[in-house]
Amino acid sequence: MLLVAPLFVLLLLSFCLPIAALLARAVYDPTMHDALPRTAAALDASPGQNVPDGVVFAALVEDLLEAKQNDSLYNLAKELNTLIPAARSHVLRTARGLSSDQRTTRDELIALDPFWGESETWTAITNGVRPFTTNYLLAAVDLHWTAAGDIGAVAPDQAIYRTIFARTFGIAAGVTLITLVLSFPLAWLLASLSGPTAARLILLVLLPFWTSILVRTAAWTVLLQRSGILNELLLGLHVTHHPIDLMYTRIGLIIAMTHIQLPFTLLPIYSVMRTISPSQMRAAYSLGARPFAAFRRVYLPQVMPGVMAGCLLTFILCLGYFITPALVGGPADQLIANFISNYINVDLNWPMAAALSVILLALTLGLFGAFARLFGIDRMKLI
Amino acid sequence: MLLSPYATFADKVRMAVLLVWCGLVLAFLVLPIFVPVPLSVNAEAFFTYPLKGLSWRWYREVLGSDAWREAIWHSIVVAIGVTVLATSLGTLAAVGLSSPRMPARRIIMAVLISPLVVPIIITAVGAYLFYAPIGLANSFIGIIIAQTTIAAPFVVVTVGASLANFDRTLMRAAAISGARPFVAFHRVMLPLILPGVLSGAAFAFVASFDELVIALFLAGPAQRTLPMQMFVGLREHLDPTITAAATLMMALSILLLIVADRLRRRPRTDGDRAS
């Protein structure tokens, strides 16, 4: 038992804990609370005001002055900007007008910048300084807290996440279906053959399976170029008279993802088909079944677990695709994982990345749980 | 073999259609991965056939430029670190899990395998946000630890498979003969499960050598790995150097994985080194 401990502890510390911390960021975000500690306390003490009273304003002025002194003003402005558009310039301008010698009052501050007298500003600040928040999780499914305190849909021009989830699901479903249609007959052929021919053909399936996703995506990047081999081929066969744009398009992405996922769909189907004796079909024929009826009533029900396992595996893996959409897809073909990466690296909106991660992980684990329950955990081992 | 001796014309047509379909699918599966190979010896900077002439210039570019050489070196260093760590910890864990007295086996197994299930972007982002404040981002140690989490499950699975065929009474026999647990492991168990261990090590090496997403988040410019160098090349300045690098990467991983597969499938020999 002690033998398991080193790896178990390593995984807990370097895998489970970081992921838990990441997911926690989706609902726990103390940055605003830490940036405006006095304002947060004052707002807490007197809740329910549209534009709060002088006490809260005094606390705000203190917080702004302190931020100005220890050079954290720019960060504060940036944080506030994620909650209220254009807040950055208001914060910076207001702070410039404050001096520590003389306490600015509520009315003076509103006179200095009417921004502080607006109820939207204070709704956002009140929301933002709460360390526990459901804002990001709601935003990830295009919902938000309305000014009246209900959950409502966000404005259509800001509702992007449902589109992204629908796109990810759509592409995953499409790729799953195409791989199934392509691989089912091949799996049958491989399972029916035996001897060295079958072994050689299986090797042909395993070869791409063993090549890294990056190398295969690189191959497709080369193939799909406007002046690339695929276009040369199509032009040569007179399928088309002009080169087709395949790079940075949905079609190119689906072709590349289908190629990468095909073995994942095929191998579980193949391993189930191998267990079905061909004499069953012969028995069905001799009992008078036509080929289609024999296939539908005898063969298909037995292969179904393999088909479901292969399809579910491909579908789940497609939900988390990152490299291929980043390289082959266009701006309109980016999936959830690419948005998570973008929120971490470009927008620096970590809670939003965390909220999207929560949803992606919940979907993946939920589907895998269903998978394990239906087919047993052993079918997952493809290697 | 596929057709019955009494096949009708319709049966033959169906079979012909099926064979053509399978041939096309196999071509779709296999041809694209070999596309970079001939292009990598193309004398011209084009991605089309026919080749204008043969040359090693893109390989010289890969193996001669400092950026690529450094990236290859970083990848090898990281992959060796990951292989050593994942193989030793993974083998220990698999041995522990195979013990009949192991409690909570299912839950522990689920935790050990979970890195294969969680989308890699979540693993990478989680590691980045967690490692950065404790100084493990932009360091080889950080990348090695994070990649070990995704490589170790392969070792647990392959070693676990060889342990399923291992007769545990041998360990009792060793103990009765006076061997301490470590000696019994080293002299009796390890030689018998060695194919599983080596195959797991090969899988771990390839898992790290091919890994891009964790490296993208955890590596700084000073740790840039070969997949990162390729990713940047594919995104920013696409030239046939990529095809040469892809060919090299593919050759190495396919070679290692075929070795791993052979080891794993090899029927167990009962030869005893100590005899």
Are both A180 and A53 inside the same structural domain?
A: no
Residue B270 has pLDDT above 50, yes or no: no
- Output the six-digit token pair for A159: 């509702």
The minimum CA-CA distance between B164 and chain A, rounded to whole Å, is: 14
The one-letter amino acid at B112 = L
Secondary structure (3-state) at B166:
coil
- Output the six-digit token pair for A97: 């007008």
The whole-number pLDDT of residue A380 equals 53
Residue B17 domain-assigned (yes or no): no
Instruction: Report, as an integer, the average pLDDT of B199-204.
Output: 93
Are both A255 and A191 inside the same structural domain?
A: yes
Residue B111 domain-assigned (yes or no): yes
Phi, psi of A53 (to 5 degrees): -90, -175
Residue B212 domain-assigned (yes or no): yes
The whole-number pLDDT of residue B165 equals 87
Residue A9 domain-assigned (yes or no): no
A304–B contact, CB cutoff 8 A: no
- How many domains is chain A partitioned into structurally? 2
Tens of pLDDT, residues B132-174: 999 999 999 999 999 999 999 999 999 998 998 898 899 989 9
Residue A145 domain-assigned (yes or no): no
- DSSP string for A257-270: HHHHHHHHHHHHHH
Contacts of B36 in chain A (CB under 8 A): 215, 218-219, 222
- Output the six-digit token pair for A303: 């292969």
Instruction: Select the residue from A1, A2, A3, A7 to test the B interface by mutation, using most B Cβ atoms within 10 A.
Output: A7
Are both A119 and A242 inside the same structural domain?
A: no
Distances (CA, A) of B206 to A209, A256, B151, B183, B227: 13, 22, 9, 31, 12
Count contacts between A and B (CB, < 8 Å): 249
Residues A262, A179 contacting (CB under 8 angstroms):
yes
Q: What is the CATH number of the domain that holds B238?
A: 1.10.3720.10
Cis? peptide before B50, omega within 30° of 0: yes
Asked if A192's CB is within 8 angstroms of B1's CB, the reply is yes
A214–B contact, CB cutoff 8 A: yes
Are both A290 and A370 inside the same structural domain?
A: yes
Are both A203 and A322 inside the same structural domain?
A: yes
Say how far apart CA A122 and CA A350 lie, in whole Å: 23
Are both A273 and A344 inside the same structural domain?
A: yes
Instruction: Select the residue from A181, A189, A215 to test the B interface by mutation, using most B Cβ atoms within 10 A.
Output: A215
Are both A74 and A167 inside the same structural domain?
A: no
Phi, psi of A28 (to 5 degrees): -125, 110
Residues B87, B201 contacting (CB under 8 angstroms):
yes
Are both A299 and A217 inside the same structural domain?
A: yes
Tens of pLDDT, residues B98-127: 888 888 888 888 889 889 889 999 999 999
A361–B contact, CB cutoff 8 A: yes
Asked if B21's CB is within 8 angstroms of A192's CB, the reply is no
Instruction: Select the residue from A3, A220, A349 to test the B interface by mutation, using most B Cβ atoms within 10 A.
Output: A3
**Ranges of H-type helices in A106-195:** 106-112, 119-129, 135-140, 161-192
Task: Name the domain boundary from A112, A132, A152.
Answer: A132
How many percent of chain B have pLDDT more than 70?
A: 96
A347–B contact, CB cutoff 8 A: no
- DSSP string for B168-220: THHHHHHHHTT--HHHHIIIIIHHHHHHHHHHHHHHHHHHHHT--HHHHHH--
Are both A168 and A127 inside the same structural domain?
A: no
The whole-number pLDDT of residue B190 equals 93
Asked if A183's CB is within 8 angstroms of B121's CB, the reply is no
Residues A340, A357 contacting (CB under 8 angstroms):
yes
Q: What is the CATH number of the domain that holds A180?
A: 1.10.3720.10
CB-nearest to B119 from A193, A227, A364 is A364
User: Residue B237: CB partners within 8 Å, gap ≥ 6?
Assistant: none
Contacts of A350 in chain B (CB under 8 A): 129
Are both A220 and A348 inside the same structural domain?
A: yes
Asked if A4's CB is within 8 angstroms of B149's CB, the reply is no
Say how far apart CA B188 and CA A103 lie, in whole Å: 81
Whole-prediction pTM = 0.87
The one-letter amino acid at A304 = M
Q: Assign residue A24 a region: left if phi > 0, alpha if psi is -120 to 50, beta otherwise?
A: alpha
Are both A98 and A205 inside the same structural domain?
A: no
CB-nearest to A383 from B4, B123, B157 is B157
Determine the residue of chain B that is closest to A226 in CA distance: B47
Say how far apart CA A110 and CA A38 lie, in whole Å: 19
Average pLDDT, chain B: 88
A151–B contact, CB cutoff 8 A: no
User: Residue A240: CB partners within 8 Å, gap ≥ 6?
Assistant: A231, A234
The domain of B160 spans: 67-265
The whole-number pLDDT of residue A147 equals 67
**pLDDT tens across the length of chain A (383 residues):** 688 899 999 999 999 999 999 999 999 888 888 888 888 888 888 777 778 888 888 888 888 888 888 888 888 888 788 777 788 888 888 888 887 777 778 888 888 888 888 888 888 888 788 888 888 888 898 988 776 678 888 888 878 899 999 999 999 999 999 999 999 999 999 999 888 888 889 888 988 888 889 999 999 998 998 888 888 888 888 888 888 899 999 999 999 999 999 999 999 999 999 998 888 888 888 898 888 888 889 899 999 989 998 999 999 999 999 999 999 999 999 999 999 999 999 988 888 999 999 999 999 999 988 888 877 666 555 53
Q: How far is CA B179 from the centre of its chain?
A: 35
Residues B203, B158 contacting (CB under 8 angstroms):
yes
The whole-number pLDDT of residue A196 equals 86
Task: Name the domain boundary from A84, A113, A132.
Answer: A132
Asked if B250's CB is within 8 angstroms of A344's CB, the reply is no
Residue A221 domain-assigned (yes or no): yes
Task: Name the domain boundary from A85, A113, A132.
Answer: A132
Secondary structure (3-state) at A99:
strand
The whole-number pLDDT of residue B266 equals 61
The domain of A64 spans: 30-132
- How many domains is chain B partitioned into structurally? 1
Neighbours of A225 (CB within 10 A): 21
